[in-house]
Amino acid sequence: MASLGNAGGTSSPMVMLAPKTKTKKKHFVQQKVKVFRASDPVLSVFMWGVNHSINDLNQVPIPVMLLPDDFKANTKIKVNNHLFNKENLPGHFKFKEYCPQVFRNLRERFGIEDQDYQVSLARSPPVRGGEGQGEGLLLTSYDRTLVVKQISSEDVADMHSILSEYHQHIVKCHGSTLLPQFLGMYRVSVESEDSYLIVMRNMFSHRLLVHRKYDLKGSLVSREASDKEKVKELPTYKDVDFRNNMQKVYVTEEEKEKFMEKLNRDVEFLVRLKIMDYSLLLGIHDVARAERDEEEAEEPGGEDEVEPDNGLAPAPLVGSYGTSPEGIAGYMNSFKPLGPGEFDPYVDVYAVKSAPGAPQKEVYFMGLIDVLTQYDTKKKAAHAAKTVKHGAGAEISTVHPEQYAKRFRDFIANIFA
């Protein structure tokens, strides 16, 4: 515990009095076995920090209930690391975790064990390319179960301002939500440059590849994928494309009702917080195409591709952890293998299967993204400008939170066949 400095000046005497030199030596003893090697020093420190913070949290009993101070707390560690693991970690760095007890509690409510979270993030470096889960730099954990998103210091402040309400919402809905599952928030400082990172569950599958993807806001003004976007391997299509492609989501009536109930509950929560400009991220896995791709990949004489293009994501390599946790998706390997288009609902929590009579067999991944935009002066200014340009009644994307929510819900209710 001596290593943790608490924000808000509420540090216990033990923390205050701990001699700093001792603290630093302590870490190197326990870290020697693991090497946090990433090409980017920020990532190496991030992996080291997550590993360190989970180890520290394990020493702290789980509180009976969260207190208001937990929503303001943070833990910091500063390392002047001249000798240990020099080839992988920078000489000096700082790592800060925001609201550790709150995020620990959220992980538990989302059914994610701390040890699995630690393995998924720290065993092997996260890689670029989270599948369009909002704006900004995105990384995916090596086992594809988590997304690490780089955010701004303003986003950190916004997150703090909604965290208490968000936590209450997750408690009320028993973790059953279309909102992003926020699992941890950190600041990494290397060479006096600060990087802010937030960790979320991957909305897409760690196993089933997404063949088509949409970002839907319920507005048709300037909501079409650009030509530059359309030539990408997996373009992000938008509302106009959804209409033009005659796209539909084919699920059972029961699944649609369950989905709309979640959506309405989550959108009401966002309206209460005056949040808008969020989207529905829709990913579509085409089961027949995945099977075809897999058969082609298995044909003898087919060249080994570095990036397998069959409909399944390559299985993550298992590290030398022996019988220790296998990461969030790891325990799946010990059960019967999943067939085409099958998924574990405890891991792929945003997934829904297409209905039995659908034109083709598909799996849909649907969740809400970009939920940190509050209706503030910036939005009001954009709304005024767009009203001047398009006229007061036009379907523009910058409107008031209530209007935005109504338009969004009406549009989403009609995406189903």
Q: Which residues are catalytically annotated?
A: 149, 277
Minimal CA–CA distance to 180: which of 201, 166, 161? 201
* Sign, CA torsion 367/370/376/378: negative
Minimal CA–CA distance to 224: which of 248, 243, 211, 241? 241
| Alpha-helix residue ranges (DSSP H) falling in 273-340 | 287-298
Minimal CA–CA distance to 51: which of 27, 73, 78? 27
Residue 263 host element (H or E)? helix 253-272
Q: Which two tokens stand for residue 150?
A: 């780089």
Q: How far apart are CA 139 and CA 158, in angstroms?
A: 21
With a CB cutoff of 8 Å and minimum separation 6, the contacts of 258 are none
Burial class (CB in 10 A: 0-12, 13-18, 19+), 176: middle
Chain centroid, CA 364 distance in Å: 17
The backbone torsions φ and ψ at residue 257, rounded to the nearest 5 degrees and listed phi first, read: -60, -45
